[in-house]
Every structure is written in structure tokens, then in C-alpha cells.
């Protein structure tokens, strides 16, 4: 969930609202807004502004949890050109590559309390149809991961057998090593608090096993490498936050248990949730120990109950050149396979199929909900496919697709059932923590 503030929150939850959007191009004044800030009683020191912005759609982002990948969000803002002012700006200034932000506020709030929705990088500026305005297109910062690394960051010589790039550590450590050293990007572009939390001893993800060790001897594209070689084998996926920072989410819930940030209900959804199922996954193949001549080890995990119920379903192949048995990768693979089966194999029996996935449309007031968030869903009319009862209360889902439509004043989401509803976390730390119950708990 994105950070907001009390003044903004009060307006946002109001059922009658007038959102004001502001589009900023770094290094440029004025900013462009959908409304006249003075007329809307925005307080504080107002920046120079022009109320020429059309309400944009917003940028969609979705994740593929099983592939460890995330789509690159694209934002398009159309600004009306008054008296050729933008034509002059676009024709005389290098704006491509600038950081742009889209923020939203409400009448009467302080200018400083506008909430940033997207922080993207401008890559294309085109005249709008009929030349009445200009389209500013921007993409999220994953674009910076699309670069190919062909030089060793330490000596700038090409990567080859005699000059390999060695990477070792947790996924978050390798991610940061590549981002800072190989791509030479600034620290501020990563959400380091989340990355640090993933590596924390209290999370227990890498206390006993750090299974990755890479020896890279040829050029590679960073995004593809991270997603296929590290995130997918580690059960992680990348997320861009509203400030444009790259972050990671683990499909394993936090040790202290998932923390639902919002409850979707019949009071804020504008349609009955559309229910679908993820494919059944009951066979997972890990290929590891690749020392340059192909994977030397293959581990096959089969979920017997699922197999006997559904027959052979999807086979999930995870192959990484960095997974090493000597570093404990086999234990790592077994742990990951267990977690994938628990969520996607169609067991326990009551599930009777793949993990439920919902498509919902909701009020604009839900816009702080972000990709990767845990949310509750309650609905009196929705069938509970686990029990056959009518109605669902506080079932725990994970947001895997977020599609704003600010122009229509509505939000769309895809929610993936976590299978964690009602389960207790393995532990609680102080002050009233109960004992460790890791052996019995499915959340740790």
C-alpha cells in the first residue's frame, strides 16, 4: 500500500470526491494539473502550474508469480497545448529520459499532501491526434534493468572465461550488486528497506541456505537474468513502488504472517468478482549445478495427491546456472517445491482445483492498494468454493495485477488466493509472542 497522509485519506474515502491530478517533469516548471489549483483551494506554496492535463488512465502493472517476472508499466499523459507553449517546450528541450511523476490530491488539501501515484521515466513525446495537445509516455524503472551487461564492472573488460563476473549471496544481495555495480544506478532507485527485510534473520529465508553462486562469462540482459535465474528459483517477483523504486516481494508470506492492508467488500466493489483458477501445478523440475556444460543435477518433485486427483498437470521447470548443491540448493529446492505445491497443486482436497484468482473492479478510493499487497475480500454473494457456502468473509488474497483507470474513476485488480486464510504465523516476536511453532505452521 502506498504511503498517504491523514488529510488526503479523509478526502479519498469520501464517497463524493473530485480528484485533482498533477503531472510533473523533473527540472521543468510549470507542472501540469487537471484543475486550477487556486480555484480548488489547494493550500500551501503552489508551484507554477497550468491546468492543461487531461485525466490520465494510469499505469497498469502485473506480476507472474511463478515466472518471477513483472510487466513494465507504461503511463501516458495528455496535456492540452495552449498557444503553442508545449510545442515550443518539446521542440526546444530534451525531455526524454526525465523523471516524471503523477500525483493526486483533492480540493482544499495542502499542496504538499498530494500523493504520488507513479514515478516513471519519460521515453516518448508525441503530438496528440488533431495536434491539440501532446502525449507524454513514460515507463517504469524496470526499463533500466533491460540493459545488457557485457563488461566486468570492476575492470570494464568484456566478460569472458578469463574475466568472469562472480555473483554470490541472497537474491536481494545479488540484485543490489547488479543494480549498483553492473548498471551503475543510484541507491535511491531501490527500496532497500524491503530488500533488507527479506534478508533479515527474523524472516529466516536465508539463515541456513544461500544457494546461489554465479560465474558469468558472457553478456547478459539484467532483467531477464534476474527473473529467470534468481527470482523464479527463489519465489520472488519484482515490484515498482509509487516512488519509482524497485522492490522485491516473496511469494512466501512474511514470518510474522501476512498483513492485509485493505478489505475489498460489497461496499467498494462495483461488480461481482469474476472467479477463475490458476493452472494446477503438480510436477516441478529443478535443473541445477551448471558449471558451464549444462545442468548436472535434476530434481523432480511430484505432488502425489494432486497427481492422483488431476492426473499430470502443468510441469514447472526451474533452471538456474547459479543454484549449487554444495551451497545447499537441494534443500532450497525442496522447500520451494513444497511451498509451490501447497499453493498451486490443487490440494488440500477442499480446493478442488487450481488456486482461485479473482478479477474485480472497485471504487477509486481503493487506489492506495498496490501490487504485492495482501488484502482481505468479503462478499455476501460470492460462493465459497471451498465449502459450498454462500458468502465469503475475510479471505486472504495477494494483488497480482493492478489496473487503474483514473479517467473513468475506477480501479481494477486481479487477486490470487494465498491459501493462508485462517492460518497462524509460526511465531510472534515480543511482547506477547507465542512459542515457535514452525513445524506445524504453514506461515513462516
Partner 1 sequence: MPFPKLVYTSTTFPFTPTTLPFTRGPINFSVGWKSRLHDNLATSGLRERVVEAHDLLIAFTMPALRVADDLAHWTAFMSWALDGKQFDFYPDGSVGTYYHCVSDDDAFDLTRTAPGQYSATFKFRIVPDSQAPGGPDDILGAFYGLEWML
**272 binds partner 1, rule: CB under 8 A:** yes
Q: Is 245 in the site for partner 1 (CB under 8 A)?
A: no
Contact (CB, 8 A) for 240 and 247: yes
Q: Which is nearer to partner 1, 32 or 332 (CB)?
A: 32
Alpha-carbon distances of 387 from 263, 360, 381, 382, 401, rounded to whole Å = 21, 21, 14, 12, 26
Q: Which of residues 21-50 bind partner 1 (CB under 8 A)?
A: 34-36, 38-39
365 is a site residue for partner 1 (CB under 8 A): yes
Residue 430 binds partner 1 (CB under 8 A): no
Residues 6+ apart with CB under 8 A from 251: 65, 235, 236, 237, 339, 343, 398
For residue 203 the three cell numbers come to 524472516
Residues 213 and 168 sit within 8 Å (Cβ to Cβ): yes
| 192 scored as a contact of partner 1 (CB under 8 A) | no
Radius of gyration for the alpha carbons in the chain, expressed in angstroms and rounded: 24
393 φψ region: left (φ > 0), alpha (ψ -120 to 50), beta (else)? beta
Is position 364 an interface residue for partner 1 (rule: CB under 8 A)?
yes
**C-beta closer to partner 1: residue 41 or 432:** 41
Backbone angles phi, psi at 343, to 5 degrees: -100, -30
Least distance (Å) between residue 7 CB and partner 1: 19
- Determine the interface stretch with partner 1 among 86-94, 148-156, 190-198, 408-416 (rule: CB under 8 A): 408-416
Shortest reach from residue 14's CB to partner 1, in Å: 9
Q: Is 10 in the site for partner 1 (CB under 8 A)?
A: no
Burial 156-179 (b: 16+ CB within 10 A, else e): eeebeeeeebebebbbbbbbbbbb
Based on CB atoms, which residue is closest to partner 1, 221 or 267? 267
Q: How far is the CB of 38 from partner 1 (least distance, A)?
A: 6
CB of 349 to partner 1, least distance (A): 30
Binding characters for partner 1, 322-361, by CB under 8 A (x = yes): ----------------------------------------
The reply on whether position 267 binds partner 1 by CB under 8 A is yes
Q: Could you tell me the three cell numbers for 4? A: 498517504
Contacting residues for 216 by C-beta, under 8 A, at least 6 apart = 159, 164, 165, 166, 167
Positions touching partner 1 (CB under 8 A) are: 15-19, 34-36, 38-39, 51, 55, 265-272, 362-365, 379, 381, 408-410
Amino acid at each position: 500500500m502506498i504511503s498517504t497522509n491523514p488529510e488526503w485519506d479523509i478526502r479519498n474515502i469520501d464517497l463524493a470526491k473530485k480528484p485533482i491530478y498533477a503531472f510533473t517533469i523533473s527540472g521543468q516548471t510549470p507542472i501540469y494539473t487537471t484543475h486550477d489549483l487556486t480555484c480548488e483551494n489547494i493550500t500551501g506554496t503552489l508551484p507554477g502550474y497550468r491546468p492543461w492535463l487531461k485525466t490520465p488512465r494510469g499505469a497498469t502493472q502485473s506480476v507472474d508469480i511463478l515466472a518471477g517476472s513483472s510487466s513494465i508499466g507504461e503511463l501516458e499523459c495528455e496535456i492540452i497545448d495552449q498557444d503553442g507553449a508545449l510545442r515550443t517546450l518539446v521542440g526546444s528541450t530534451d525531455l526524454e529520459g526525465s523523471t516524471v511523476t503523477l500525483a493526486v490530491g483533492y480540493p482544499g488539501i495542502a499542496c504538499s499532501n498530494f500523493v504520488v501515484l507513479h514515478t516513471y521515466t519519460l521515453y516518448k513525446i508525441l503530438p496528440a491526434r488533431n495536434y491539440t495537445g501532446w502525449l507524454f509516455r513514460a515507463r517504469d524503472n524496470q526499463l533500466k534493468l533491460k540493459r545488457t551487461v557485457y563488461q566486468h564492472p570492476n575492470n570494464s573488460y568484456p566478460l569472458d572465461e578469463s574475466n568472469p563476473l562472480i555473483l554470490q549471496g541472497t537474491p536481494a544481495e545479488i540484485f543490489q550488486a547488479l543494480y549498483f555495480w553492473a548498471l551503475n544506478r543510484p541507491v535511491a532507485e531501490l527500496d532497500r528497506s524491503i530488500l533488507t527485510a527479506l534478508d533479515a534473520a527474523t524472516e529466516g529465508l536465508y539463515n541456513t541456505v544461500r544457494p546461489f553462486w554465479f560465474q558469468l562469462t558472457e553478456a547478459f540482459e539484467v532483467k531477464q537474468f534476474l527473473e529467470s535465474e534468481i527470482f523464479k528459483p527463489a519465489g520472488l517477483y519484482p515490484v515498482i513502488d509509487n516512488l519509482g523504486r524497485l522492490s522485491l516481494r516473496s511469494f512466501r508470506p512474511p514470518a510474522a504472517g501476512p498483513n492485509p492492508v485493505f478489505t475489498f467488500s460489497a461496499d467498494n466493489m462495483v461488480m461481482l468478482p469474476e472467479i477463475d483458477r490458476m493452472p494446477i501445478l503438480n510436477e516441478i523440475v529443478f535443473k541445477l549445478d551448471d558449471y558451464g556444460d549444462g545442468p548436472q543435477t535434476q530434481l523432480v518433485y511430484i505432488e502425489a495427491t494432486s497427481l492422483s486427483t488431476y492426473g499430470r498437470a502443468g510441469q514447472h521447470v526451474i533452471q538456474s546456472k547459479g543454484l549449487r548443491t554444495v551451497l545447499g540448493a537441494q534443500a532450497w529446492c525442496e522447500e520451494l517445491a513444497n511451498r509451490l505445491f501447497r499453493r498451486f497443486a490443487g490440494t488440500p482436497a477442499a480446493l478442488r482445483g487450481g488456486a482461485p484468482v479473482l478479477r474485480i473492479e472497485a471504487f477509486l478510493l481503493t487506489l492506495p492498494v498496490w501490487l504485492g499487497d495482501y488484502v482481505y475480500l468479503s462478499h455476501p454473494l460470492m460462493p465459497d468454493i471451498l465449502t459450498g457456502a454462500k458468502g465469503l468473509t475475510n479471505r486472504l488474497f495477494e494483488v497480482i495485477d493492478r489496473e487503474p483507470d483514473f479517467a473513468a474513476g475506477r480501479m481494477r485488480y486481479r487477486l490470487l488466493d494465498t491459501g493462508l486464510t485462517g492460518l497462524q504465523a509460526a511465531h510472534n516476536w515480543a511482547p506477547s509472542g507465542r512459542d515457535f511453532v514452525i513445524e506445524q505452521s504453514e506461515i513462516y
